[in-house]
């Protein structure tokens, strides 16, 4: 890795989207969920220490990644709301209004919550409902709200880090990490594929840069992928083939490192290095 040095405010006004879900490859890689979270914690630390912000879309379960990022934020004392949590329609409608207020109160100066309507536009979470949860049962609305979430996040971020991802059992038209990566490429946003934890992220690397993903032997897991997953990979290949992948500030060797390592400090260093180089060049202005 380069000995390029980043300034203490290298990522000032840079918002980094994080795409993450569990990987079915953890066990065969000799890894467990805590390794996964260590990597996320290191990425969060690197972005926050360098003055950047984090954007994440998820749910409010106490054991989920939303709660994890909120707890990490408190460790570093940034009180300028550097964490943006985006909640899709299907998520905030499943919560009571008092619980939504509690979450925003707990985040306080550390972050903000943006509530989205069924097509991904910001909305008032209290509109058209009372205190009690009002879950949405229509499958088409659930799918559209997730795509809307991912499109909205792409409009407020400057770069995206992707880790893990499952090829089946997901909500939406395709795995979330895959759809968010496709949106990043479509909008010419720098993309950081951390493949060391396997999963859908490594499959994306196999599609985009096959030679960088040969370190993990093939298994029959591809046969478990459903139509939404396989069509998503086809879409990824089509867009990347037509437009190329956006510049992410890393050279070929560094991207190959990112494709293989599961070391939290190395992943965080590579992501911040790429973003920092782009910020120094003025790529994120305007």
What gap in Å lies between CA 87 and CA 30, rounded to an integer? 33
Give the residue from 271, 33, 20, 35 showing the smallest Cα distance to 159. 271
The better pLDDT of the pair 73, 127 is held by 127
What is the DSSP secondary structure assignment for residue 162, as one 8-state letter? Answer: E
Q: Which domains does the chain have, with CATH numbers?
A: 15-273 (3.40.50.450)
Which tens digits make up the pLDDT trace of 191-201?
999 999 999 99
More confident residue, 1 or 187: 187
* Cα dihedral 39, 270, 23, 113 in deg (nearest 10): 70
Confidence check: pLDDT of 80 > 70: yes
Average pLDDT estimate for 148-172:
93
**Residue in the structure block whose two tokens are 């994080």:** 18
pLDDT tens for each residue of 202-245: 999 999 999 999 998 876 555 557 888 999 999 999 999 998 99
Range in 3-17, 65-79, 218-232, 264-278 with the lowest mean pLDDT? 218-232
Does 69 have pLDDT greater than 90? no
Residue pair 262/31 in contact (Cβ under 8 Å)? The answer is yes
Q: How confident is the model at residue 129 (pLDDT cuts 50, 70, 90)?
A: very high
Closest by CA position to 148, among listed 89, 206, 103:
89
Percent of the chain with pLDDT over 90: 67
Residue 127 DSSP class = T
Q: Which residue spans within 101-169 are E strands per DSSP?
A: 111-115, 159-164
Q: For the chain, what percent of residues have pLDDT higher than 70? A: 95
For 167-180, the pLDDT digits (tens) are: 888 888 999 999 99
| Average pLDDT over every residue of 69-98 | 88
Residue-wise pLDDT for 8-42, tens only, equals 789 999 999 999 988 889 988 999 989 989 999 99
Q: What is the mean pLDDT of the chain?
A: 90
């Amino acid at each position: 890795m380069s000995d390029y040095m980043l300034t203490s405010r290298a990522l000032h006004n840079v918002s980094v989207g994080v795409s993450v879900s569990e990987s079915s490859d953890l066990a065969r890689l000799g890894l467990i969920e805590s390794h996964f979270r260590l990597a996320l914690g290191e990425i969060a630390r690197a972005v926050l220490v360098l003055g950047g912000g984090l954007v994440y879309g998820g749910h409010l379960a106490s054991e989920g990644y939303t709660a994890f990022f909120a707890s990490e934020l408190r460790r570093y004392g940034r009180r300028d709301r550097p964490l943006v949590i985006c909640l899709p329609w299907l998520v905030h409608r499943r919560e009571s209004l008092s619980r939504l207020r509690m979450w925003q109160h707990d985040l306080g100066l550390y972050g903000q919550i943006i509530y989205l309507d069924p097509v991904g536009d910001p909305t008032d979470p209290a509109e058209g409902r009372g205190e009690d949860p009002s879950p949405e049962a229509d499958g088409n609305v659930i799918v559209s709200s997730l795509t809307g979430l991912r499109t909205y996040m792409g409009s407020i971020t400057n770069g995206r880090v992707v880790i893990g991802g499952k090829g089946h059992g997901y909500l939406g038209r395709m795995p979330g990490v895959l759809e968010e990566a496709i949106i990043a490429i479509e909008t010419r946003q720098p993309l950081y594929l951390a493949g060391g934890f396997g999963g859908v992220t490594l499959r994306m690397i196999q599609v985009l840069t096959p030679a960088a993903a040969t370190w993990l032997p093939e298994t029959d897991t591809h046969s478990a992928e459903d139509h939404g997953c396989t069509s998503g990979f086809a879409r990824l290949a089509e867009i990347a083939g037509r437009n190329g992948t956006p510049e992410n500030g890393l050279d070929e060797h560094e991207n190959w490192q990112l494709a293989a390592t599961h070391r939290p400090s190395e992943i965080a260093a590579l992501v911040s290095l790429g973003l920092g180089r782009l910020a120094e060049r003025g790529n994120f202005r305007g």
